[in-house]
Amino acid sequence: MARQELARFLRDRRAALRPHDVGLPTGVPRRTPGLRREEVAELAHMSVDYYVRLEQARGPRPSPRILDGLAGALRLTPAERSHLFRLAGTSAPPPATGAVRHVRPHVARMLRRLPETGAIVTDAAYGIVAWNPLARALLGGDLGQRTTNLARRRFLVEGRMYESSGAEEFGHIVVARLRRAADRYPHDPRLAALLAELHAGSAEFRRLWETGPVHAPGHRTKTLDHPTAGSLRLNCDVLLVPEDDQEVVLITADPGSPSARALRRLATTVCGGTSGRGPDCQDVAIREPAK
């Protein structure tokens, strides 16, 4: 076990994170940048004393469970996670057992730079892990609150949904992605519970599941009937975050079109100001996974 190197690695990764990266309040003054030790310990589900000893290079060798908790708390990439295990004297970290249910800081920052684009991030089980204000205005004010999973939203009518021309196509997309997730994460209890709930609650889901649809993420166009912005012709484009098996969905309108002008007005309404770049547009919401 390389105690000094492990301690330095933990300190560096903790200092690189900001409270909003992990869904913590941002208005509290801090003497130094980065997260506090007690915050990392809480996110990793371990004692503060144990974490402090690890950062001071005087702790015992951490177990794989502790290392997995630290990797999640510090938002480590797969390569960083493997490095963490090597520093702790465990050369072969076990594979991830379930879908990654947090958003990386650089992905959240990208959402903050898109004031006139609706954007959401979903995990492999279609759980919503981050979204920006315009996406919430387009998809319903309960997005990320009562509605935390797009599969439940689509098949179990959980949360508010506006009429859309792409509902049938999206059903096939959802089932295809959930089948991939079931193959990749056969031991994920939350995914298993979701699939059981969808099978029990939706005949349409059961029918589509049996057909085994296959779909590759890409470009879609749909018409959304919005209660205040009217009929919007929207483009939905998907960017992949392969290291976490997540997708960033970008919702836009063709430049110069009536829908683009309506989208700009909606952005101005929800974000404030004259250009849709008011301070509220910086408040990307991040949903932390349930403990």
**CATH code for position 71:** 1.10.260.40
Q: pLDDT tens digits for 193-243?
A: 999 999 999 999 999 999 888 887 778 889 999 988 999 999 999 988 887
On whether both 144 and 279 belong to a single domain, the answer is yes
φ, ψ dihedrals at 222, nearest 5°? -145, 165
Query: Domain for residue 82, yes or no?
Result: yes
Domain end call among 52, 87, 122: 87
Residue 197 in any domain: the answer is no
- Residues 33, 155: one domain? no
pLDDT at 290: 43
- Which pLDDT tens digit goes with each residue over 91-145? 655 656 677 777 777 787 777 777 789 999 999 999 998 888 898 888 887 776 6
Domain for residue 180, yes or no?
no
Residues 24 and 125 in one domain: no
Is the pLDDT assigned to residue 257 strictly greater than 90?
Answer: yes
Q: Per the domain annotation, does 177 fall within a domain?
A: no
CATH number at residue 242: 3.30.450
Do residues 15 and 75 share a domain?
Answer: yes
- Of 61, 123, 157, 117, which is closest to residue 276 (Cα–Cα)? 117
Q: Looking at the structure, do residues 13 and 141 belong to the same domain, yes or no?
A: no
User: Are 241 and 132 found together in one domain?
Assistant: yes
Task: Give 277's Cβ-side CA count (13 Å radius).
Answer: 3
Stretch among 37-46, 77-86, 165-174 having the lowest mean pLDDT: 77-86
Total domains in the fold of the chain = 2
Q: For residue 282, is pLDDT > 60?
A: no
User: How confident is the model at residue 96, as a pLDDT?
Assistant: 62
The more confidently predicted of residues 79 and 185 is: 185
- Per-residue model confidence (pLDDT) at position 277: 45
**pLDDT of 177 strictly over 90:** yes
Q: How many secondary structure helices (H) and strands (E) does the chain include?
A: 12, 6
Q: Please, which pLDDT band fits residue 252 given cuts at 50, 70 and 90?
A: very high
First to last CA, the chain: 29
For position 106, what pLDDT does the model report? 76
User: How much is the pLDDT for 50?
Assistant: 92
* 111 and 67 in a common domain: no
Does 123 share its domain with 24? no
- Give the C-alpha separation, 102 to 120, whole Å: 12
Percent of the chain with pLDDT strictly greater than 90: 34
Residues 6 or more apart whose Cβ sits within 8 Å of residue 34: 14, 15, 16, 17, 18
Greater confidence (181 vs 161) lies with 181
One domain for residues 27 and 72: yes
Q: pLDDT tens for residues 7-37?
A: 999 999 998 888 877 777 776 677 777 888 9
Claim to verify: residue 61 and residue 154 sit in the same structural domain: no
Q: Tally Cβ neighbours within 10 Å of residue 211.
A: 10
Mean pLDDT of 263-280: 67
Strand partners, 221: 235
Domain hosting 13: range is 3-87
- For 272, residues 6+ apart whose C-beta sits below 8 A from its C-beta are 278, 279, 280, 281
Residue 276's pLDDT band (boundaries 50, 70, 90)?
very low
**Residues 140 and 37 both lie in one domain:** no
Sign of CA dihedral 252, 131, 148, 187: positive
